[in-house]
Structure 1
Amino acid sequence: MNLIDIEKRDRLHTVGRLDVETTGLILITDDGQWTHRIISPKHRCDKVYLATLAAPLCEEAEARFAEGIVLDGEDRPTLPATVERVSPTLARLTIQEGKYHQVRRMFAALGNHVEQLHRERIGPLTLDNDLAPGESRFLTTEEVNALARAGDE
């Protein structure tokens, strides 16, 4: 938040989190209801990550992600997710919830390790290619409204 030069910065919060080793799209707002519509699993807003893996993705990955994965220390499986093989060790994962280190833990449950993780998209909003790490921009009214509807369509 210290990188943002805006009035009333103390009212801002992030919409979800990125761990210290994860790069990519993060949204910042002062609207709690808008945040809830994006991060609540009941609204099923997609979060898309590009994961660089230590080993090739296992053959049954698509089926395992589609049925949900029981994470270490949890009783119930994750919501179904989709995985796209970009290369043997690069995968694009779409989830609709945001449990603690969920993406890393899902791949770990398949016996793999995430070496790099990058969030590319939240709902209909894709990270701008022209924004350098640490840079930000304001969302348009259309983007704010589209994100508020994301997952409910």
Structure 2
Amino acid sequence: MKIVRHIANLGYGSRKQVQALFREGRVTDAAGEVLYTDDPVDHDAIRIDGEALDPAPGLCVLLHKPVGYTCSTKDTGRLVYDLLPTRWRQRDPVLSTVGRLDRETSGLLLLTDDGGLLHRIISPKAQLPKVYEATLAQPLRGDEAATFASGTLLLESETKPLLPAELEVIEPLRVRLTLHEGRYHQVRRMFAAVGNHVSALYRSRIGGLALDDLPEGQWRLLDAADLARLFGTDAA
């Protein structure tokens, strides 16, 4: 791929704008030597204004999503993309959320520009466990764990039962729920189906990946070891 097109696809501007960066001598190699548009050079060796390029295509990002942010590029109000570098909205391939967390749900959110990785994560075949911690409006009745684990629970307006899910009581009004699929507003609808209401919801884990100590509103890039943990293939 031509160097101008590569840099433009990373969100640094249109091809015309990137060509202007070259004319102004702002694109250099790691040693500070000015680069030209026809120079054969690797991604990692390119600098713009002395700074390394943003990650190459194929990145995967772990974000600690706060309440109040929407997983969309078009909605009004605060978007999860507001928490990432501004240029990343213009990347090609596009940086997409891996599934969604609704506006009032916080916690672990993955984003990637790798379509194959995205589909591998969300594929029903993967059945990556997703762990949520929910604060409930009312105490549990006592039969919810058995109902969720039965594999027979039907959500309103659906005809296919949910896969079995595991419920763990943390405190009288606080529970941990592990899902093996991802349906629309699934946690909230599951508790609505048993006569309760979720007043706060937080996703703490997907597969073998957890937020750990990542502060709310912050993000980090995932490496090969992180992806191995995500899919449970970490030899450690």
Q: TM-score, structure 2 length as denominator? A: 0.60
Runs of 4+ in 1 over 3 A off after TM superposition: 6-10
Match of 2:98 in 1: 15
Q: Is 1:78 the equivalent of 2:162?
A: yes
| Structure 1 gaps, min length 5 | none
The letter for the 2-side match of 1:5 is: P
CA offset digits 1:96-134 (Å, max 9, x no partner): 1111100000011010000000000000001122x2221
Kept in 2: contact 1:38–1:150 (CA 8 A): no
The letter for the 2-side match of 1:95 is: L
CA distance in 2, matches of 1:132, 1:80: 31
The letter for the 2-side match of 1:77 is: P
CA RMSD, Structure 1 to Structure 2 (Å): 1.6
Q: In terms of Rg, which structure is larger?
A: 2
CA offset digits 1:60-83 (Å, max 9, x no partner): 111101113200110111111000
The letter for the 2-side match of 1:108 is: A
The letter for the 2-side match of 1:74 is: E
Identity %: 52
Q: How many angstroms does 1:150 deviate by?
A: 4.3
Question: How many residues end up aligned between the 2 structures?
Answer: 149
Q: Is 1:111 the equivalent of 2:191?
A: no
| Structure 2 gaps, min length 5 | 1-80
Q: TM-score, structure 1 length as denominator? A: 0.90
CA distance in 2, matches of 1:145, 1:32: 17
CA distance in 2, matches of 1:7, 1:105: 36
Match of 2:122 in 1: 39
**Which structure exhibits the higher relative contact order, with contacts defined as CA atoms closer than 8 Å and separated by 6 or more residues?**
1
* 1:2-151 equivalent positions in 2, closer than 5 A: 2-5=82-85, 8-9=88-89, 10=91, 11-68=94-151, 69-129=153-213, 131-147=214-230, 149-150=231-232
The letter for the 1-side match of 2:208 is: P
